[in-house]
Amino acid sequence: MKAMTATSGPGISLMLENIGLAVMTEAPCVIVNVMRGGPSTGQPTMGAQSDVMQCRWGAHGDIEIIALAPQSVQECFDLTVHAFNLSEKYRTPVFLLSDANIGHMYEKLEIPAKEEIELVNRKKPSVSPRDYKPYLADETMVPPMACFGDGYRFYSTGLTHNEMGYPDMSVETQDKLVRRLCDKIRVNIDKITMTEEIMTDGCEVLVVAYGVTARSAASAVQMARSEGIKAGLLRLISLWPFPEGKLSDVANDVKGVVVAEMNYGQLVREVERSVKPIPVEFIPKLGENPPSPDEILAKIRRLAQ
């Protein structure tokens, strides 16, 4: 069966060991994190975007993670469906990184008819139970997954394992397994990443934002355009794997980049790395509310000079 769980930052902290286990055993699942202010218990009812790096690097070892960031109630629904599809296709945990601001919103939600919703199911083995190897992958790097009760024998462990699933501590097996677990995401980055461009053609100042902060950023870009400033917005819908290629292309000819986040500096580091040497202005916001359109507009004006 398809599986999911939902919590906020402290709950994710308690799940990190099993998230790493899900990566290693290639167990499809969706993990919803409605981010709140931390560290520790912090502000348990107030919004933040402070778990972006936690979901990427919280589990130990070399792993790749998929994370999606909705900016509306509608996208909470749509991207949850998409998260399930990605988890089934790539046999990996997928995060839905919302924030408490979105979690507390009341907005219109349209649920499509069931037959209109695209659903992806995990690939099943085509060989007999006698010949089945649970972790033998084809060219997609994603092995078929047998269901309990279908007659297939399945050994699952968090230890480094061979294609049969049995523990194997050799250097060769570790190298081969970890490379495949990472590369099934890295090789497909262009198929996984999702962004939205708003008035980016010919823009001189690019704003990068996600989640609820992208709503403020979109207003700021419109305000800048009304003043004759060529501003644009690249909204990150997928945060991980980070769409560095897309960002680099969009920011190629801009004077500067504005990054707005509800934290003290997380995804901005990825932006700086991707657009270097283009100057980056960062707007950190700690507390309950995202950066306002006026705060973002002030940074746009500064870079446009």
pLDDT of residue 238: 98
pLDDT of residue 59: 95
Phi then psi dihedrals of residue 188, to 5 deg: -105, 20
Phi then psi dihedrals of residue 63, to 5 deg: -135, 160
**Domain tally for the chain?**
3
Burial class (CB in 10 A: 0-12, 13-18, 19+), 139: exposed
Angle between helices 212-226 and 293-304 (to 10 degrees): 50
Give me the CATH number covering residue 16: 3.40.50.970
| 254 in the same domain as 273 | yes
Range of the domain at 145: 128-168+182-192
Within a domain: 241: yes
Distance CA 227, CA 212 (A): 24
| 113 in the same domain as 70 | yes
**DSSP assignment letter at 283:** E
Q: Where are the beta strands (DSSP E) in the chain?
A: 4-7, 29-37, 43-47, 66-68, 93-99, 195-198, 205-209, 231-236, 238-240, 256-261, 280-284
Distance CA 216, CA 102 (A): 13
pLDDT of residue 183: 98
| 32 in the same domain as 83 | yes
Distance CA 178, CA 158 (A): 12
Reported pTM: 0.96
pLDDT of residue 166: 97
| 135 in the same domain as 94 | no
Collapsing DSSP to helix, strand or coil, 59 comes out as coil
Any idea of the CA torsion for 25, 28, 30, 35, to the nearest 10 degrees? 30
Contact 196, 154 (CB under 8 A): no
pLDDT along the chain (305 residues), means of 10: 92 94 98 94 92 96 97 98 98 96 95 96 96 96 93 93 97 98 97 98 97 98 98 98 97 97 97 97 94 98 95
Distance CA 114, CA 240 (A): 28
